[in-house]
A = this chain, B = another copy of it.
Amino acid sequence: MNVLAKIFVTLKDSVLDPQGKAVTHALHALKYGAVSDVRIGKYMEVTLSANSLDDADRLVRGMCDELLTNPVIEKFTFELMEVSQ
């Protein structure tokens, strides 16, 4: 089966996010004073073939741990969905 994984990577909460900070300031300077916090991370769409969603789960978790993120400063979540073709 073909699976699309949507992976969301963010810095751990305790880690400084300079981009998020700069964007928060910028939004305040525009007219978005209602914003209290911005965290900026990475969004990845990975298409892969797998035997099952469980199998895909294992693969995606593996690639996040090994390559796509660094657990020292980042954390991740992901969603899987079957796609055609």
Residues in A lying within 8 Å of B, measured CB to CB:
2, 6, 8-10, 20, 23, 26-27, 30, 32, 34-50, 59, 62-63, 66-68
Contacts and interface: CB of A to CB of B under 8 A. Distances in A.
A48 B44 CA distance: 24
The 3 closest A-B pairs by CB, nearest first: A43-B43, A37-B47, A41-B43
Given A23-B68, A27-B67, A68-B23, A59 B40 contact: no
Interface majority SS (helix, strand, loop, mixed), chain A: strand
A81 B26 CA distance: 23
Contacts of A26: 67
Contact of A63 (B27, B40, B62): B27
